Structure 1
Amino acid sequence: MKIDAGVSVSEQFTDNVFLTANDRRSDFVTVLEPWVALSLSRQDFRLNLEAAAEVGRFADNSSEDYNDYFLGAEARYRINGNLFAFGGLDYAWDHESRNSPDDVNGVEPTELRDASGFFGLGGKVNGRSFRLGVNVRRLDYDDVLQFNGVTFANIDNDDRDRVETEVGGRLGVASTENGEFFVQGIYDKREYDDRFDNAGLGFRRSSDGFQAALGYTGQVGELKGEALLGIMSQDYDDPRFGRTTTVDFGADLTWPISAKTDLTGILERSIEETTLNGASGYISSSAGLRLRHRVAPDMSIAGYFFLTQNDYQEVSRSDVLTETGLSLRYYLNPRIYMDTDYDFLQRQSDVAGVDYDEHRLTLSFGTALDPRYRKDAPNLAKAGASGFYVGAQLGDTALQTKNDGPRGAGGNLTADFGDHDLSGGVFAGYRTDFGNLVLGAEAEVEFSDSGWTHQGNRNFSAKRGNSFGVSALAGVRTRNDNLVFGRFGLVSTEFDSTYQQGLNPLVSVSDRELGLLVGIGTEVPLGRGLSGRMEYQVRAYEDYSIGSPLGGADDDNFANIESVARVGLVYEFGARNRPGPEIEPTDFSGFYAGVQLGHGTVQSDNTGPRPNAAAPTFTLATTRAGHGFTGGLLAGYGYQANDFYIGGEAEFELSTADWNIERSPEGRIYSVEKIGSIGAGLRLGYVVNDSVLIYGRAGVVRSRFNSNYQFGGVSVDQDDDLDGVRFGGGVEFAVGEKTHVRFDYTQTEYDSHSVNYVAGVDQFDTSERLFRVGLTRAF
């Protein structure tokens, strides 16, 4: 018998407790997490038992306090050399996160109980593996109170209670030297306790469905893991819901970049339940990367990025959820550790008002009975070279403002505005090497005039001024001493905002707002203590109110978000006296292909007539802006002659960048969303230190944009394929024998397009700014 147990205590800061776009609330959360695990093995029998708890206490928002508990048991019995039986039981007392699409905005989180059990048989028949099993899950949601602004009302969640049953199997069909092809099938039944839900039209949500797929598990080259492709379908009891059928895919693959570094890629798709009125469910498609680097037995660093798209069925709504973060773990001794985590979460939707972003910073201390390394283990982490550095940088700062405020008699406006401008600044910092891990702290001053204006019946604007920031940096030195780093920190920025409605006096607000930032970047040595830097940051600030000369309930709320791309020079004191690593020359010639992930902004100069019964007709002139993530594929060919480089490249990408505006209950609802692009271009560059390619690029792209416009009973949903000229630059270097990483920033100017909604025509002149990190493989 083996027992292990532990406990961790965390202090977490979140800048958005309720996950809202406007009227954000920040708080500190203390989290206690005890756990115990028991493992028992007897010849052919193995039993694992687990118990855990998570208790959270909010400093200012005690209604969000929670107590979660978990019990689990799993057993396996080997019947003979080719056959084994397995089974398990789990029970959890849980609460629903505020990021749930079904969160009812109760005065406290919705509590639930989640019980599941599974059993089955597995083994081999004629050398082919097989696995048959049954899984049953019971979900039971508690009621919760909701405040409607005047009184409290009870939200009846009994219509969400259900039993989900899966019966399925997997059979190996062909073996390879390092793996096996398999087929698998699953029957899926979802039975709700209440025949009809509590929506106004009373939908019958019970359903049954299936999944069928062909897959491979094993190893191909350096990749290890599993991948599958198939079909899934769900048929609902309610005749108003159509059958949902879609492609099924999944992958969990690990690529060892080096002896100490692993990159894991994950793909998942499922058909999920929802109680959103009119929706049968939603198709959830997720993709993610997780990078882990073991610096030493007592120190490791990890980063991750996950993107999930939820496409709701039977209603017009699509959400994109993004989560990215950086984590550093250090063991004070074999049983006690310290974690520092920074996480950035974001939801974008084509429904106005449900977007949000959240920054979380967590410091944890934990302990476990079982030591995680030997006390006399060699090569434990220790500080190496360290020193001060200074630098200067230039950048492109895009400001986006989410505006929320009252309009008319009981109406409301939710809208996105923004624009961009150049920025510049200086910085200074101190950092220390722990092997090839770099930890540091940095302070900076930045100057910019980015801002936007809205001219119409109401004239308002926002403009940012200088900023001061402090941040922590953590990075890894790769081949040839090139540094890849992430950062998180605080930034204080001055914002000047104005507001004027009709003939009312002009109102202005000038104040500094505190924000949280997260970023990624690279530094490449240039020689004589100098390095070149390229990085990208996303910043979210405290919101503020402006509008009525008297203030109060008639004010608009402004929530500012920035994305900043910049390049700079870094001078490290004493670096020229330290011997550098022996350079391994990199040849950038030949064919290559890879993947890239990015974040950027889409902004549209929006003009159009605005007839108004309560005021004279006017012409709207403003800039709409929003941001989002992209992901795609690229392939190209390059030729290097001495230190000069020329190459051609093709690319394909999908995008989540959009902006929207909603004037409710009556008024205009419209949005522009970038769907994806194909493009081609040239790269011209110069190779520095025989190992780093610094390049400029220019090319053409064709991107699809979706415009949705509703006004006066007319609904327009149109797709436009717009041609654009894309230009920019970046830096590329090797991180493995044939593996390169690149950091790339581009600007794209598109052809204008218009939307005719019968009562008028709106014009949109759209541009895009995009920062991408790519990973390529040379052939």
Structure 2
Amino acid sequence: MGFIGFKVQKVQNSLKAIERVDTVMRSQNIFLCPIYIILSVASFNSSSMAQETVDTPAAENSVKVDAGLTLSEEFTDNVFQTANDKKSDFVTVFAPWIELSLLSRDYELSFGADAEIGRYATYSSENYEDYGLYADGRFRLGDSLFAFGGLDYAREHEERSSPDSVNGLEPTKYHETSGYFGIGGQLNGNSFRLGVNARDLDFDDTPAAGGTTINSSDRDRQELEFGGRLGVAQITNGEVFVQGIFDQVEYDDKTDSQGYQRSSKGGQAALGYKGQWGDLAGELSFGVLTQNFDDPRFDTVTVPDFDVDLTWRPSRTTQISFVIERSLEETTITGASSYVSTSAGSRLRYRVAQNLSLAGYLFLTENDFKGIDRTDIYAEAGLGLRYYLDPRFYLDADYAFQQRLSDIAGEDFDEHRFFLTFGYDLEPNFETRPEDRARITSSEFYAGTQFGYGVLQSKVDGPRGAGGNLTADFGDQGPVAGLLGGYRTTVNGLVLGVEADIEFGDMEWVHDADRDFSVKTGNTYGVSGIVGLKTVASNFLYGRFGVFASEFESKYQRGGNSTSIDDRVTGFSFGLGTEVPLGRGLSGRIEYQIRSFSDYDIGAPLGANDDNFANLQSAVRFGVIYTFGAQETPAPYVAPTDFSGFYAAATLGHSTLQSDNSGPRPTSAAPSFFLNATRSGQGFSGGALAGYGWQYGAVYLGAEAELEVSSAGWNVERSPTGRIYSAEKVGSVAGLLRVGYIVNDSVLIYGRTGLVRAKFETDYSYSGTTINQSDKLDGALIGLGVEYSVGPRTHLRMEYNYTDYDDYEVDYGTGVDIFDSKESRFQVALAYKF
């Protein structure tokens, strides 16, 4: 992937087009028509229509050739992106590209080609050769009118994470051909654009087990869009616009292999605003999108549509983008007409020095399938550094984390990827100025202690009965503590470090039934890389990624057969944290980590009937750090932060829901047997809070209300017969008190507590009975966090919350199950003070 780039699931099939545009724009400052980006991903998004006027043409004709290549070595810990039976591998990727640009007073033309060739060291079935060809242009028709158009052809492969992946012996390959044309310019002082986009997708058949072939021809289709956008009013700092799109999707086969008619027609309409407010620029739009399908079994989908695309440039070297967008995507999953994909996230680009850059991103995507009961949540995060050896040659070091959480058992996965890339651009990226090169400004050793709260989750997958299977989530929670030490250096304000730590914990879950099995954790050792930036008042915001080895003791017993495994298992971690100075060489820290470990087989009797255990951990840790040799040098004056008054905030969090599950499980051998097990699953949350605070010297008192939506939940599926049930917390409201102490006039360390009312949804199917139950449960919340200023009126909060909810029952006719749930949640909030 090279220097880390924007990547969300909803545009997976068009990722290469976006990355190509991003690469070209990064390597040279040529003009690219924004609507080309729109149409290359078959989405007439208003956020991409940034060019509202006809640019000043080039004074003279010119021809420009640019080219480049990258050679990457990648490591992935989950090649096939599965919850269990994970496989790791190294991948060598070679990616060349070339572009020819013709510029004149009346037109701008670009022709290019790119390729990406991947070779896996072990799993050669995953090898791929992707390539693309493109041409696009823009033509002046008058002082206020221009035309544009282009063609694009690509041969790609489908990612294993795609919900439509056919799980063949190799990835599904497909061919994509697209073209677009349109006109735009100014009309009575307002901008306008009209365009047409056509796209053809042709999927290859995929080899399958047993020498068979998976027929993918029923996915072949053509997509056609007609769209327009018109500015209707010029207001202060921007323009109000309306836009509309009509789209038609026509499949080659009238019915697919499952008998569904998947062709459809639909459209979008939206009202929006585009403008600039100081250092913040971009646009937002709100409207509706709808799609009507040929198959009468599919309901018409009509949902609110929204699109937010903002770019904040707080300094000449820093750019932060914020994106929220929604689209309706095609799928061929049985029973589903489509899925509504909603994405939200942020991307950072920071030029540390002339020859050193930092990039990072964090995105969440929800795919809500229509026609079936399935929702997938994707999280994607990454950090990347680019170091230029000279203006043409560079090295990239990247890390990327991806997680999918689904309410369908067995569809979750975690993946960690590490990249080391060597790259070359024919066109120099900058003019060498020795005084602007990266320099180390300080280095330091440090050590500390930490305590916190950890969560163990185990995904168990194994055979049951005559041809049956069990997929289930188990887990436990408990306190953790440990020691840490590290070394870090500051390069022009960018902090790079390496840290080693040991963590002591004792969490254990037990399943007691006709099969008894359990997992217990021990000590964990880890080494991590840390990348971060200093904010106002020397507060340190960082991301981390690393490798860990944790002790797992696993036992399994059935009848008279038993076995156990007590071994260290290697895993990888992704984390986010902040560190605040306390004085005299001491700092305080709060951070959150997500870890996934290699899976293993265990079972009784041994052999073909083994279960597969895949363990995950999450942990919030509070630490006190001492820096050796720290000098108490006067810091630049920063006005004391005022934490009093009204505020509102947006929140983003990661949670684990744990439920003590008990209920009757009679068998012919044990008719009175009673199950006691602990279920555990992860999820994401987002929401808003508002409150008011009073500041008395260094003491803070406040009250706030919080609204949250959540996907935290767990699944149990015993197929083809048996119990299938799941629980999910879908949202909550809370009234809370905050009490805190202000350190160094700039950092608020606080605790919070209060009452929560949460909605839980439980689905339970057994012996022909299906229950869909909603419960509103009360809970008591306690939390601990830190807050500080990152802008004139903007504050950043990081906090951990623990909530204990009331228990509830599910009566499925032949028995009653009881659930007693607890939630462990870490969240980040960005607050605005009024």
What TM-score does the superposition give when structure 2 sets the normalisation length? Answer: 0.91
Query: What is the rounded CA distance, in whole Å, between the counterparts of 1:713 and 1:376 in structure 2?
Result: 75
Q: Which amino acid aligns with 1:764?
A: F
Q: CA deviation at 1:718?
A: 1.5
For 1:267, which of 309, 324, 331 is the aligned residue? Answer: 324
Q: Which moved more, 1:530-539 or 1:293-302?
A: 293-302
What's the counterpart of residue 494 of structure 1?
551
Asked if structure 2 preserves the Cα contact closer than 8 Å seen for 1:448 and 1:465, the reply is yes
1:246-287 deviation line (CA, Å, top 9, x unaligned): 111111111234443332111111111111111111111111
Aligned counterpart, 2:245 = 186
Tell me the C-alpha RMSD between the 2 structures: 1.3
Indicate conservation of the 8 Å contact 2:562/2:604, yes or no. Answer: no
Q: Which runs of 5+ in 1 are unaligned?
A: none
Q: Is the 8 A contact 1:436 1:478 kept in 2?
A: no
**Does the residue aligned with 1:250 lie in a helix, a strand or coil?**
strand
Superposed counterparts of 1:342-381, under 5 Å: 342-376=399-433, 378-381=435-438
Secondary structure of the corresponding residue to residue 576 of structure 1: coil
Q: Give the equivalent residue in structure 2 for 1:405.
A: 462
What residue is the counterpart of 2:307 in the other structure? 250
Deviates more, 1:362-371 or 1:478-487: 362-371
1:508 matches 2:564: yes
Q: 2:87 aligns with which of 2, 19, 25?
A: 25
Distance in 1 between the 2:687 and 2:437 partners? 39
Matching of residue 457 in structure 1 with residue 514 in structure 2:
yes
Q: Which residue of 1 aligns with 2:599?
A: 543
Aligned to 1:393: 450
The C-alpha deviation readout for 1:414-441, integer Å capped at 9, x for no partner, is 0000011111111111110012110011
Alignment of 1:165-564 (within 5 A): 165-199=224-258, 202-376=259-433, 378-501=435-558, 503-549=559-605, 551-564=606-619
SS at match of 2:440: coil
| Mapping for residues 23-172 of structure 1, pairs under 5 Å | 23-147=85-209, 151-172=210-231
Q: Give 1:152 shift.
A: 2.9
Distance 2:438 2:276 in 1: 32
CA contact (8 A) 2:577 2:589 kept: yes
* CA distance in 1 between partners of 2:105 and 2:669 (Å): 84
Secondary structure of residue in 2 paired with 1:159: helix
For the pair 1:757 / 2:812, whether they are aligned, the reply is: yes
Asked if 1:686 corresponds to 2:745, the answer is no
Partner of residue 621, structure 2: 566
Q: Which runs of 5+ in 2 are unaligned?
A: 1-62
What residue identity is the alignment partner of 2:174? L
For residues 70 and 789 of structure 2, the distance between their equivalents in structure 1, rounded to whole angstroms, comes to: 39
Residue 80 of structure 1 deviates from its aligned partner by: 0.3
2:774 is the counterpart of 1:712: no
Separation (CA, whole Å) in 1 of partners of 2:579 and 2:294: 58
Q: In 1, distance between residues paired with 2:681 and 2:326?
A: 27
How far 1:349 moved relative to its partner? 1.1
Offset of residue 320 of structure 1: 1.1
Q: Is the 8 A contact 2:476 2:678 kept in 1?
A: yes
- Amino acid corresponding to residue 173 of structure 1 in structure 2: V
CA-to-aligned-CA distance 1:199-253 (integer Å, 9 cap, x gap): 1xx1111111111111111224543111111111111111111111111111111
**Residues of 2 paired with 1:644 and 1:726: CA distance?**
22
Supply the AA of the counterpart residue of 1:165: L
1:585–1:258 distance in 2 versus 1, CA, 3 Å: farther
Deviates more, 1:449-458 or 1:90-99: 449-458
User: Does structure 1 residue 727 correspond to structure 2 residue 782?
Assistant: yes
Give SS of 2:792's match: coil
CA contact (8 A) 2:308 2:325 kept: yes
Superposed displacement of residue 679, structure 1: 1.3
* 1:10 alignment counterpart: 72
For residues 205 and 377 of structure 1, what CA distance do their matches in structure 2 show?
60
Provide the rounded CA distance (Å) in 2 between the counterparts of 1:649 and 1:556.
Answer: 47
Distance between the aligned counterparts of 1:753 and 1:49, measured in 2? 63
Contact preservation (8 Å) 2:451, 2:481? yes
Deviations 1:284-340 (A, max 9, x none): 111111122222222222221111111111111111111111112221222122111
Give the Å deviation of 1:615.
4.5
**In 2: Cα distance, 1:289 partner to 1:89 partner:** 30
CA distance in 1, matches of 2:697, 2:458: 47
Which residue pairs with 2:661 in the alignment? 606
Separation (CA, whole Å) in 1 of partners of 2:560 and 2:260: 49
Counterpart-to-counterpart distance in 1, 2:564 and 2:492: 52
* Partners of 1:213 and 1:228 within 8 A in 2: yes
Q: AA paired with 1:568?
A: G
* TM-score when normalising by structure 1: 0.97
Is the CA contact (8 Å cut-off) linking 1:138 and 1:164 kept in structure 2? yes
Equivalent-residue separation in structure 1 for 2:182 and 2:638 (angstroms): 56
Mapped partners of 1:116, 1:614: distance in 2: 64
Q: Higher mean Cα deviation, 28-37 or 324-333? A: 324-333
One-letter amino acid matched to 1:175: Q
Provide, for residues 720-773 of structure 1, a one-character-per-residue CA deviation record: whole Å limited to 9, x for no partner. 121111111101111122211111001011111111111111111011011111
Distance 2:349 2:825 in 1: 26
Name the CA shift for 1:588/1:118 in 2 (closer, same or farther; >3 Å): same
SS of equivalent to 1:480 = helix
Q: CA deviation at 1:533?
A: 1.0
Report the Cα offset of residue 505 of structure 1: 3.0
Q: 1:570-589 counterparts in 2 under 5 A?
A: 570-576=625-631, 578-589=633-644
Q: Secondary structure at the match of 2:208?
A: strand
